[in-house]
Amino acid sequence: AQSVTQPDIHITVSEGASLELRCNYSYGATPYLFWYVQSPGQGLQLLLKYFSGDTLVQGIKGFEAEFKRSQSSFNLRKPSVHWSDAAEYFCAVGPYGNKLVFGAGTILRVKS
């Protein structure tokens, strides 16, 4: 059965510092991978997705993620965090785009 693990429940970084959010998945075939962001009281916004091709994926708001098949990982990165990036981030895996399985989320706090 497919599953997603986000090992970090909370992460705090200083504004301007780099960020990496970890995501490991378990899936029997080539996965479709997604990162979503949820601001307080809001819905989920898609940051980026990996379906195939280049394993380094660029997304919105300056985020990128790298698919590493050998490590079953799809970590999200940003070189310089802004205060407005404070939110909860969800990694998800699915066959194609249907029946997504989400991780438990990582709450990002940004210190000024």
Contact region for another protein (CB under 8 A) — 21-29, 62-70, 72-80, 89-97?
89-97
Indicate which single residue of 28, 52, 53, 96 sits in contact with another protein (rule: CB under 8 A): 96
Please state, as a whole number, how many other Cβ atoms lie within 10 Å of the Cβ of residue 40: 7
Q: How far is the CB of 18 from another protein (least distance, A)?
A: 25
Q: Is 52 in the site for another protein (CB under 8 A)?
A: no
Q: Is 85 in the site for another protein (CB under 8 A)?
A: no
Contacts 24+ apart (CB under 8 A), 6-11: 6/89, 6/90, 6/91, 6/103, 6/104, 6/105, 6/106, 8/106, 9/104, 9/105, 9/106, 9/107, 10/106, 10/107, 10/109, 11/106, 11/107, 11/108, 11/109
Q: Is 44 in the site for another protein (CB under 8 A)?
A: yes
Quick one: how far is CA 1 from the chain centroid? 20
Which CB sits closer to another protein, 28 or 41?
Answer: 41
Which CB sits closer to another protein, 49 or 77?
Answer: 49
- Binding-site size, another protein (CB under 8 A): 20
Which residues would be at the binding site for another protein (CB under 8 A)?
Answer: 34, 36, 38, 42-46, 49, 88, 90, 96-102, 104-105
